[in-house]
């Protein structure tokens, strides 16, 4: 995990208005909005690297309600499209969503088929290394 965080920090692209990292209180507010507990590793991801801008993928964020990556908005759309309610979106790619289950495993859900693909990653950090950093 630490090596992935370090790599993301090194590759973070400068932007005119950088995002802020959330604190625990903000994550509690987000959980109340979603009516679901965030998986532990997703919480860690949001607390440590949700301000990173890198590559073509844009993982969810929680600090700016106006952002197109704002987790409550992304989740509302994904769940409305049929993604199982026990999954929390991590990143939208076209019509598909990388999502985290309660155990912290990352799965790929397709809104076209309404199905989970066979692709999965053991954790948010494995996904970040294998997918986000490779984008």
Q: What is the pLDDT of residues 34-66, one digit of tens each?
A: 999 999 999 999 999 999 999 999 999 999 999
What pLDDT sits at residue 123?
Answer: 98
What pLDDT sits at residue 81?
Answer: 97
Residues with Cβ within 8 Å of residue 105, at least 6 apart in sequence:
120, 121, 122, 123
Per-residue pLDDT band for 29 (boundaries 50, 70, 90) equals: very high
Q: What is the pLDDT of residues 10-26, one digit of tens each?
A: 999 998 988 899 999 99
3-state class percentages of the chain: helix first, strand second, coil last, to nearest 5: 35, 20, 45
> Is the confidence at residue 135, as pLDDT, over 90?
no
Q: Mean pLDDT in the chain?
A: 96
Element (H, E) at 88: strand 88-93
What pLDDT sits at residue 49?
Answer: 98
Domains and CATH numbers, the chain: 2-132 (3.40.1580.10)
Question: How do strand 96-100 and strand 106-110 relate by DSSP bridges?
Answer: antiparallel
Give the Å distances, CA to CA, from 134 to 14, 56, 77, 113: 19, 10, 26, 25
- Taking alpha carbons only, the member of 19, 107, 11, 5 closest to residue 68 is 19
What pLDDT sits at residue 9?
Answer: 95
């Amino acid at each position: 995990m630490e090596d992935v965080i370090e790599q993301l920090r090194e590759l973070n692209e400068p932007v005119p208005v950088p995002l802020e990292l959330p604190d625990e209180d903000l994550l509690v507010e987000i959980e109340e909005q979603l009516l679901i507990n965030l998986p532990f590793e997703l919480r860690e991801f949001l607390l440590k690297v949700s301000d990173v801008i890198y590559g073509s993928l844009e993982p969810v964020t929680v600090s700016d309600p106006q952002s197109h990556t704002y987790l409550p908005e992304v989740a509302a759309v994904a769940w409305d499209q049929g993604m199982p309610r026990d999954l929390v979106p991590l990143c939208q790619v076209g019509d598909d969503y990388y999502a985290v289950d309660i155990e912290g495993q990352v799965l790929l859900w397709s809104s076209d088929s309404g199905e989970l693909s066979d692709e999965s990653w053991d954790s948010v950090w494995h996904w970040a290394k294998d997918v986000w950093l490779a984008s």
